[in-house]
Amino acid sequence: MPAVAVNHDTQNARENSIRNVSFECSLYALAFTHWIASPEMCLGDSGFAALLKDPRWSRSILFMVVDEAQCIKQWGIEFRKHYTSLETLRSFVLRGVWVLTTSATMPPETLEQVRSILGMNTEKFFHLNLGNHRYNIVPLVWPMEGG
């Protein structure tokens, strides 16, 4: 499964520049099955946003993943403003495209806020909480006998 990370480094590299690609369902766009991009690239870069908005390309999107979803609420207001606009991405893709949000540190109130911001349907929403107990991680303190 060919994947590509779309960021300012790959965007500016001459051989990988998305700005230089025709957005007419280009071979470049179709050459990858997995795209990894930040909210800033998806919403703040006009070239990549144009590709996302092209219905001939966006209809091939099967799902979107928002990793570290707690950042939508925790960082979105001041630090990374594009996180609070992630629901805009839903308008670029077909109805019914799944959105997977992941987080290891999302308390219930933040989960509710993230669901609201992303416009997640509560009837079709699935929540899995595996807790934070990890059998292979044990906090221990050992006294040292030297510097």
Give the model confidence (pLDDT) of 64-86 as tens digits: 888 888 887 776 567 777 877 88
Counting residues of the chain whose pLDDT is more than 70, the rounded percentage is 80
Same domain, 14 and 45: yes
Strand partners for 117: none
Same domain, 80 and 147: yes
Where is the domain boundary, 60, 84, 111?
Answer: 60
Q: Is 21 exposed, middle or buried (0-12, 13-18, 19+ CB in 10 A)?
A: middle
One domain, residues 55 and 78: no
Structural domain span for residue 1: 1-60
pTM: 0.67
- How many Å apart are CA 15 and CA 20, to the nearest integer? 9
The dihedral sign for the CA sequence 132, 137, 138, 139? negative
Where is the domain boundary, 60, 79, 111?
60
Question: Where is average pLDDT lowest: 14-18, 77-81, 82-86, 138-142?
Answer: 14-18
Tally of domains within the chain:
2
Question: How high does pLDDT run on average in the chain?
Answer: 75
pLDDT at position 101 over 60: yes
Specify whether 84 is located in the same domain as 34. Answer: no
